[in-house]
Amino acid sequence: MPTRSIKQDDPLEDFTPREIALHGVTRRVYVAGRGPAVIVMSEMPGISPEVARFARWVRNTGFTVYMPSLFGRDGAVPRSAEGIAIFKKACVSAEFSALASGRSSPVTHWLRALARLGHRECGGPGVGAIGMCFTGNFALTMMLEPAMLAPVLSQPALPLNDPAGLEIGADEIEAVRHRLEQEDLTVLAYRFAGDRFCRAERFAAYAAAL
């Protein structure tokens, strides 16, 4: 397909939009590609043209991308006022533990079920997940799903009010640590130096816990 400017809204026409119901909740998920499943979870304020471009890069390397719509307007160029409103709404939503350390966001139960579905539909040894900023830590919690083998945490920002806090329960992170040891798996995590939402204290806490 022709190159599209990331400064324009992306119609996402090369993705198949699916309404997927799991645990009694229906969400739109954009699916594209062939190969093992990778769950791509957008940063704030939603599936922007930049996020869609990244999902295409993943697809083009030989994976089936499942990109759930969790907040915002799908394909829209981020705009300041709208982005702030979306962020504030997510922070008080019951689906996200934006300000709570020591427990996972409830939405991760749905995402774990999506990983299970992706594995069933695509086959292969397992599923990957990439979380970005607001959704960064979701990929770690998704390790509670046995099909999840390759989590990538990019600038995990939650909880917002505790630089060293982990957005996952103590029993959950112990279960993840057990999987890493028993199955010889690896968690990849990245942050920018100087990132004020994802600071070095959080990565030190990850290292200590895992």
Is a pLDDT exceeding 80 seen at residue 135? Answer: yes
Mean pLDDT of the chain: 95
In a domain, 5, yes or no: no
Tokens 């309404």 locate to 19
Which one is predicted more confidently, 14 or 101?
Answer: 14
The pair of structure tokens assigned to 111 is 């995402």
9 within a domain of the structure (yes/no) = no
Q: Which of 43, 40, 21, 22 is nearest to 30 (CA)?
A: 40
- Whether 62 is covered by a domain: the verdict is yes
For residue 3, tell me if it sits in a domain.
no
Is the pLDDT at 1 greater than 60, yes or no?
no
User: For residue 68, is pLDDT > 70?
Assistant: yes
**pLDDT at position 100:** 81
Residue 105 maps to a domain: yes
| Distance (Å, whole) CA 38 – CA 68 | 11
Dist. CA 91–CA 168, nearest whole Å: 16
CATH value at residue 29 = 3.40.50.1820
Residue 4, domain member (yes or no): no
pLDDT tens per residue across span 138-150:
999 999 999 999 9
* pLDDT exceeds 80 at position 3: no
Domain span holding position 117 = 16-209
Q: How far is CA 155 from CA 180, 188, 189, in A?
A: 21, 11, 7
Please check whether residue 186 lies inside any domain of the structure.
Answer: yes
- Residue 157 CA to residue 87 CA, distance in Å, equals 13
Question: pLDDT tens-digit profile of 107-129?
Answer: 999 999 999 999 999 999 999 99
Q: How many domains does one find in the chain?
A: 1
> Is 129 part of a structural domain of the chain?
yes
